[in-house]
Chains A and B, each alone.
Chain A
Amino acid sequence: MTLHEFVQQCINGLSLGSTYALLALGLAMLFSIMGLINFAHGELLTIGGYVMWTLLHHDVSWALVVPATLLATTLAAVAMERIAFRPLRGASIETLLVTSFALAFFIQTVLQIGVSAEPEPIAHTGWSDRGYSVGPYTIGLIQIITTAVTFAVLVALVVFLRRTLLGVSIRAAAEDFAVVRLMGIPAGRVVVAAFALSGLLAGIASLLFFASAGSVSPTSGTAPVVAAFIAVVLGGLGNLAGAVVGGYVLGFADQILAAVHSSTILQFHDAVVLAILIGLLLLRPQGLVGRSRGLA
C-alpha cells in the first residue's frame, strides 16, 4: 500500500469512525450509568431510518426531515426507558441485557409485520454522492458532513457534560451512581437525560448513515450497533472518551484493512477486523483507554 492509498483510507476511516463514535458514545453512557448493554440502540437507528423514508417518500424537505428524525429517535429512546427499563431499575446486568435484546427483536418484528421485511429505498439526495478532489485525494461531501457534524457534536457534548448541572450529574453518575444520588441529584432525571441524549446521538448517526446507505430494513441497525459495541469494549467499557477513541480505531482499522486485503480475503473482511480487535483486547483487556480493574 502506498502512502497515498493509506491517507485516502484514513479519510474514509474518519467518516466511518465518526458514525461508530456517535453510536458508541450513546451505548457507553447508558452502560456506565446503569450497567445496560443496550441491544435496542440499533433499533433507534432503524427507527430514524424509517422516519426519513416516510418523510422523504412524501417529498418533505430536508429542513424538516432533520429535526423530525432527531425528535423521533430521542422520543423513542425516552419511551424505551419509560416502558421497558424503568420497571427493571436496579436489576442485574444480565436481566437488562436480555430485556434489551428482546426489545430489539420486538421492534424488528413490529416493523416486519407493520411495514415489510424487505428493504425500503431512501430517496437519494443528489448531494450525498458528490465528491471533491483535493490534490490526489477524493473526499465525498457526505464524508465531510459526517466528520464535521460529529466533531461539532463532540464539542457540544463536552461543553454540555462539563458546564451544565445535568451534564456534570451524568458524568458523575457514570463514575458512581450511588454517590450522585446521595448528593441529592434525582436519579430519574439523570437516567432519562442519558437515554434522551443517547437517542439524540443515534438520531444524528441515523441521518448520516441512511443518507449514504440508500435503503432501510428492519434489521439495518444490527450491524452498525454491533460494531459500536466492539468500539465501546475496545475503548474501555463505560469510558466515554474511550468509546469515541474505540469508534475511530474501528473505523480506521476497517478501511485500512479493506485496502490491504486481496479479493479472496475481502469476503472475510469483517471477520478479520473482529478477530484483530479481539486480539488487541488480548493485549489490553481493560481497553485502549481504560484502567485495569480485571481479575488478576
Chain B
Amino acid sequence: MWWPLRSAAGAALVCAGLVLVAVWGWVRGGDHSKLTHFFINVTIVVALQSFSGNSGILSFGHMALFGTGAYVAGILTLDPALKATYLTSLPHFLQSWNPHWWIALALAAAAGGALALLSGIPILRLDGASAVIAILALLLIADVVFGAWTGVTRGGAGLIGLPPEATMSRALVFALAAVVVARVFKDSKTGLLLRASREDAFSAASVGVAVRAYRVRAWVLSGVIAGAAGALFGWWIGTISPTDFFLAPTFALIVMFIVGGKRTVAGAVVGAALVTLIQEQVRQYEDSSVHLGVLTIHRLTGLTQLVLVLMILLVMYARPEGIVGREEPDETILRFVRGRAA
C-alpha cells in the first residue's frame, strides 16, 4: 500500500475514538462546549507533538503560535462596530473587512506558519537546551506583544465578544485533520529522519541528514496546526487576553504532551483527554473552601494546576515514556497479529 495511505489508515484507530466521543456527545445532548474544548486541546497538542515528539526539542513556545492564531482570527471576525471602538490602530481595510470564519481560520493558520518560519530559522540554529530556552524566549516576546500592542490586541483588557464560530463539529473536523496530518508527517521521510536525529543528532548529521532544515519544516507545520487551533480556541472561549497564552496554559499543554506519551500521536490524544477531563471537572471546586482541623483555606485557586503537577510528576517517576509509550496502538496491534501469524 502507498505509505501515506497506510499511515492515514493507522491513524484511523485514533480518529475512530475521537468520532465516538463526538457521537456520544450528540446522543447525550446537553453541553457540547466541553467536548469542543477537548477537540481544540487535541489539535494543539498534536501540533506540539509533530514538532517536539519528532525532533526531541521540547517546545515551551507553542502558546505563542497558538495565541497568534487566536488573535488573528479573533481580530478578523470581531463585529466591525466593536473593532471601531476597541482596536483603534487597526489598519483601515481590516476595520471594515469581516471575512467568513474559514477564511479567518486559514489566515490564522498561515500566520502561525509564518511566525514559525520567521522564528524557526534563527532559533533552530541552536541545539538542545539552548534551543529550549530560545523557544521559551519566543513565548515571552509574544506575551509582551500581545499585552503591549493595545491598539490591535486590546492588551490586558482582553479581546471581548468573539463570535462563537467554534462548533463541536468544526472542532472535531480539525482535530481529525490534525491527527491524520501529524501521523502522515511522522511516517514521512522528513519525519523519519527527524526521529533519527532525535535519537542521536550527531550520528544523523554525520550520515547526511540536514537536521536543522528538517527541524524548521516540522516547526512550520506545527505552527500552521497551532494557528488553526488558536483560531478555534478564541471563538470557543469568546474572550482572549495575554494570560490565556502564557505560562499556565503552556504547562497544561506540556502535561498533555508528556502524560500521554510524547513519541506518538495517539499519546497526544490520550493526554489531551486526561487533561481536559481534569480541567473541566476540577475547576468547579476552585471556589470552594476547605476545613482541615484548625486550618481553613478559603479559595482553592490553582487546584487544577496542583492536580496537573501531581499527574506529571507521577508519570515522570513511574513511566517517563508516557501512557501510550513508544508505539502507535495500530503498530502494536499489527506487530501482535504478525507475531501470531509467524
Contact = CB atoms under 8 A, between A and B. Distances in A.
Contact of A271 (B145, B297, B301, B313): B145
A93 B317 CA distance: 14
B210 to A, nearest CB: 10
Interface string A83-123: 01001100111110111011101101110111001000000
Interface residues of A, number: 50
Contacts of B132: 37, 97
Interface stretch (B26-34, B123-131, B223-231): B123-131
B133 A37 contact: yes
B302 A233 contact: no
Interface string A168-200: 000000000000000000000000000000000
A239 B254 CA distance: 28
Nearest to A87: B317
Given A232-B133, A275-B141, 11 more contacts: A31-B129, A94-B58, A99-B313, A103-B309, A105-B248, A105-B251, A117-B302, A233-B134, A270-B144, A282-B122, A295-B205
B254 A101 contact: yes
Interface in A258-296: 267-271, 274-275, 277-279, 281-282, 285, 287, 294-296
B334 interface: no
Contact of A274 (B137, B308, B313): B137
Contact of B316 (A88, A105, A108, A295): A88
A209 interface: no
Given A37-B129, A95-B316, A278-B134, A271 B247 contact: no
Interface in B308-322: 308-309, 312-313, 316-317, 320
Given A37-B132, A99-B313, A268-B145, A278 B137 contact: yes
7 contacts: A91-B320, A105-B308, A226-B140, A267-B148, A281-B125, A281-B134, A285-B125
Contacts of A269: 144
Given A95-B320, A230-B133, A109 B140 contact: no
A contact patch SS: helix
B201 interface: yes
B104 interface: no
A281 B313 contact: no
A295 B134 contact: no
A112 B320 contact: no
Interface residues of B, number: 49
Where chain B touches its partner, the secondary structure class is helix
Contacts of B317: 87-88
Interface of A: 31, 35, 37, 84, 87-88, 91-95, 97-99, 101-103, 105-106, 108-110, 112-114, 117, 222, 226, 229-230, 232-233, 237, 267-271, 274-275, 277-279, 281-282, 285, 287, 294-296
B157 interface: no
Nearest to B320: A95
Nearest to A236: B130
Given A281-B130, A295-B211, A109 B302 contact: yes
B127 A229 contact: no
B122 A112 contact: no
Nearest to B146: A271
